[in-house]
Amino acid sequence: MLEKRPPTSEEPFIDPDYFIYCLEAVHDIETEEVTEAQKNLQQLTLQYGVASIYKTCDTIEGLEASLNALVLDDHYFKDYEIIYLIMTGEANSICLNGYYYSLQEIAEIFEGRLKGKYLHFSNSKVLDLDEEEAQYFLDITGAKGVSGYGHEFNGITSTNLDIVFFNLFKEDENMLDVVEELHQRHYKACKLLDFRLYY
């Protein structure tokens, strides 16, 4: 029988009830190269004890298959509250291998299957939705919220802010409180990147 023991000072305490599911768009899923996102997720685990699952996709079918596997096959799906998407795109679309898909199309693919989840986009893509677009996405997918940034990359990555955001969410499940706390702690970064939440 495995003995439960408290983590040593070198080991982070990993909360078994809280995961980040990260999906990154890459040019070719066959290429086995450790991306910046993977390194950052390892940092999230080491620093804050937040576990994550990392997958890549290079087509819309791959995106659908990855999220379907998560929703249908993963018994821990209820534990993933945040789906972290790292992909390029325009204000209301994502780009996979040169093809653009609107968030409306994405919503229709995942109709009713993202209940209770938050989708968070890194600033590799600007997130800029009008009220109607945001409401449509939330209504169709069942997601609790969509967050991201209004300002694009411009040499400043949102990674550090993303990590703080995920860790705050681990401590407090009220998204509005989390966003308020994030702004209090990192006001300049939130303003610079234009952090936004649609719920």
Residues of the chain above pLDDT 90, percent: 56
* Neighbour-count burial of 4, counting CB atoms closer than 10 A to its CB (0-12 exposed, 13-18 middle, 19+ buried): exposed
* Neighbour-count burial of 30, counting CB atoms closer than 10 A to its CB (0-12 exposed, 13-18 middle, 19+ buried): exposed
- Residue 129 pLDDT grade (very low, low, confident, very high; cuts 50, 70, 90): very high
- For 147, the enclosing helix (H) or strand (E) is strand 145-149
Q: Residue 128 pLDDT more than 90?
A: yes
Question: What is the pTM assigned to this prediction?
Answer: 0.87
Mean pLDDT of 166-172: 89
Specify the 3-state DSSP secondary structure of 109: helix
- At residue 17, the pLDDT reads 65
Q: Give the CA-trace dihedral at 75, 106, 171, 41, to 10 degrees.
A: 80
Q: What is the mean pLDDT of the chain?
A: 87
Mean pLDDT of 34-61: 89
- At residue 48, the pLDDT reads 86
Q: Do residues 56 and 29 touch, judged by C-beta distance below 8 A? A: yes
Q: Residue 114 pLDDT more than 70?
A: yes
CB-side neighbour CA atoms (13 Å) of 40: 19
- At residue 3, the pLDDT reads 44
Mean pLDDT of 121-128: 95
56 vs 16, higher pLDDT: 56
14 vs 81, higher pLDDT: 81
- At residue 70, the pLDDT reads 76
pLDDT tens digit string along 172-196? 888 999 999 999 999 999 999 999 9
Mean pLDDT of 4-29: 70
Fold classification of 19-198 is Rossmann fold (3.40.50)
Q: Residue 102 pLDDT more than 50?
A: yes
- At residue 189, the pLDDT reads 94
- At residue 32, the pLDDT reads 81
Q: Which two tokens stand for residue 182?
A: 């994030």
Instruction: Give the Cβ contact number of residue 80 at 10 Å.
Output: 22
Specify the 3-state DSSP secondary structure of 68: helix
- Residue 84 pLDDT grade (very low, low, confident, very high; cuts 50, 70, 90): very high
pLDDT tens digit string along 70-81? 777 666 555 678
